[in-house]
Amino acid sequence: MNSFLESSIKQFQYYKMLGDKTFAQLSEEQLLVQHSELENSVAVIVNHLWGNMLSRWTNFRTTDGEKEFRNRDQEFETMITSKEELLKKWEEGWNCLFNTLDELKANEMEEIIYIRNQGHTITEAINRQLCHYAYHVGQIVLLGKIQLKDNWKSLSIPKGESKTYNKEKFAQEKKRGHFSDEYIKKETK
């Protein structure tokens, strides 16, 4: 179970990094663009993630994951009006998540917690949120790509460069590691 928790934290870090790199490429105006009433802007998606993260990860083991302070419907309204505010909420949400995960121990992963009165093991709750956040970060990245078109800087293997990338990888010795290690290490240098 310890490897599950470590791997989950790395996955969450990876998805946060994808969002960070997308925000770095977009202007304040682009973060706030809403193409239609049915679509969310990047800022609205961040506001929803922030609300979800604070609700799910605050007092994670002792209170239901759907907190009374949360107003989920309001998360989908235009609340964020600047890049500074977007980044502040983004960081606050992720800090809440990472602080909670950092406190968990491997032997606690089968404990039951509740989200809207539905029991989940901590492992199941982590998987639930990992999938949810990946879904929304994917939306953020796609909106960035749509807005920047040819000016988009790839966040993974650039189009047409798979053979070169694979050649470099297969030239290295086999080793144990998490795929995100190379991305996260680049960020912290």
21 pLDDT band, cuts 50/70/90, is: very high
Percent of the chain topping pLDDT 90: 84
pLDDT at 189: 47
Tens of pLDDT, residue by residue over 140-189, are 999 999 999 999 999 998 889 999 999 999 999 998 888 887 777 655 54
In a domain, 176, yes or no: no
> Which among 46, 53, 51 is positioned nearest to 22, based on CA atoms?
46
pLDDT at 185: 64
pLDDT at 188: 53
Mean pLDDT of 9-17: 97
pLDDT at position 70 over 80: yes
Query: How many domains is the chain built from?
Result: 1
pLDDT at 85: 98
In a domain, 11, yes or no: yes
Name the burial class of residue 123, with classes exposed (0-12), middle (13-18) and buried (19+) by CB atoms within 10 angstroms of its CB: middle
**Which residue's entry shows tokens 């089968």?**
110
Rounded Cα gap, residues 177 and 165, in angstroms: 17
Mean pLDDT of 5-28: 97
At position 58, the amino acid (one-letter code) is T
pLDDT at 186: 59
In a domain, 141, yes or no: yes
Q: Are 72 and 28 spatial neighbours (Cβ–Cβ below 8 Å)?
A: no
In a domain, 82, yes or no: yes
In a domain, 143, yes or no: yes
Rounded Cα gap, residues 100 and 106, in angstroms: 13
Tens of pLDDT, residue by residue over 95-110, are 999 999 999 999 999 9
Mean pLDDT of 66-82: 94
18 pLDDT band, cuts 50/70/90, is: very high
pLDDT at position 66 over 90: yes
pLDDT at position 135 over 90: yes
In a domain, 168, yes or no: no
**Which residue's entry shows tokens 């590691």?**
177
- In three-state secondary structure terms, 125 is helix
pLDDT at 177: 82
Rounded Cα gap, residues 89 and 49, in angstroms: 9
- Domain extent at residue 118: 2-153
CATH of the domain at 70: 1.20.120.450
In a domain, 178, yes or no: no
DSSP 8-class letter at 133:
H
- In three-state secondary structure terms, 25 is helix
pLDDT at position 49 over 70: yes
In a domain, 42, yes or no: yes
At position 91, the amino acid (one-letter code) is E
Rounded Cα gap, residues 131 and 56, in angstroms: 14
Q: How many CA atoms are closer than 13 Å to the CA of 25, on its beta-carbon side?
A: 23
Q: What is the mean pLDDT of the chain?
A: 94
Q: Are 1 and 106 spatial neighbours (Cβ–Cβ below 8 Å)?
A: yes
